[in-house]
Amino acid sequence: MFIHVVKSGESLWQIANRYQVPMESIITANGLTDPDVLVVGEALVIPAEGTSYVVNPGDTLWNIARRYGISEQGLARANPAVNPQNLLPGTTLTIPQKWRPAVGVNGYIDSFGQSTVPIVSRHAASLTYFSPFAYLIKENAQLQPIDDEPLLQAAKEKGAVPMMSVTNFTSTSRGENLASQILNDPSLTEKLLDNILVIMGQKGYRGLNVDFENVLPTDRQAYNSFLERAAARLHAQGYFLSTALAPKTGPEQSGLLYEAHDYPAHGRIADFVILMTYEWGYRKGPPQAISPINQIRKVLDYAVSVIPRDKIYFGFQIYARDWVLPHRPGQEAETFSPQEAVKRAAQYGAEIQYDDVTASPFYRYTDRNGTAHEVWFEDARSAQAKFDAVKSYGLAGISYWTIGPSFPQNWVLLEDNFIVKK
């Protein structure tokens, strides 16, 4: 695969002809619902047909190698009879297969029931783990039931390992006091683990993901002790343990979201951790990139210094946000899929921009009521930037939040970049 950014006046036929691939391949890879409508600045994934490339006027070995995501040296080695300094148009080059590291891939989903089965069936083949989010912990250590059984069956049919997720918060409650009550009462802790293990046994979960957020700073050690106890009980029955961690850039980072999340302890206790490297562009905050790569790298720099790289999963959000301008504190942005973001740009004639610092696409538009908007989302370029970070840091894998929103480009690029462990 490689990526083409649409320019003014270009048609899909012209793009397909330039890259010598069928239009249908581009339509499928990008989930295009109306091939006649392209947005200036839109990033398209172009499937590479076969293992050869015909040199066009102006091509260099460097830009061809970059187009296919391989090294210039590797391309030269695969074509020893070709003079790199004098590439003749019409020359057919052999494209060597790109090296793909093997990674684990987790996919959360936050909707349940039979209606969600098609989403799971569509993506579970690309997942190592599948995690319905989530079982909510109650004050008495019981767990609020969810309708996850149809989803678990669909995931298992595609070879995705079910991972149970438990959490202490809801959309209306930060959950810090609930967590404190559970973590500081040994009897409630044991009761909670009892209840978790019962559900895991009944429904076929093979591991547990603990997502305790906004834990009080004074409960940091209590949280670590809970995880140690959870690991001991889970491992004794052949299960694994993972945790979700707030995106910290250092050990002394202040704030309710961060302080009780002890990176070294989680890295020691858990089988792997999921870094929640998203939500800079918070739905109630000002408009900005949701997952800026420059900020994510700061988190990764700290994480790999205290947690083994083979235990770290890169958190990847799959959604877009639309903020009304001017932004007012507390005003909530609309959240939808990356594919919908491109459709909205087409609807309002907006040109998609790309911020190189954050590696994130965005655009602005004015709606029919005269209200200004700013949209930040994910596209093929931002996805590739995240995959490049996973490879450059040597991380264990990727965790999607969530697999529900439509983002076809992600899945073809995931397969192009990695071998998914099953």
Q: Would you please indicate which residues are annotated as catalytic (active-site) residues?
A: 213
DSSP state of 219: G
Cα gap 195→233, rounded to integer Å: 12
Q: What are phi and psi of 126, to 5 degrees?
A: -95, 10
Burial 64-86, CB ≥16 within 10 A → b, else e:
bbebbbbeeeebeeebeebeeee
DSSP labels, 148-208: -HHHHHHHHHTTPEEEEEEES--SS---HHHHHHHHT-HHHHHHHHHHHHHHHHHHT--EE
- Which two three-digit tokens encode residue 190? 């044991």
Q: With beta carbons less than 8 A apart as the criterion, state whether 176 and 256 touch.
A: yes
Indicate the SS3 state at residue 63. helix
Q: Which residues pair with 366 in a beta bridge?
A: 372
Please name which of 343, 294, 290, 278 lies closest in space to residue 320, comparing C-alpha atoms: 290
Asked whether the beta carbons of 111 and 146 are under 8 A apart, the reply is: no
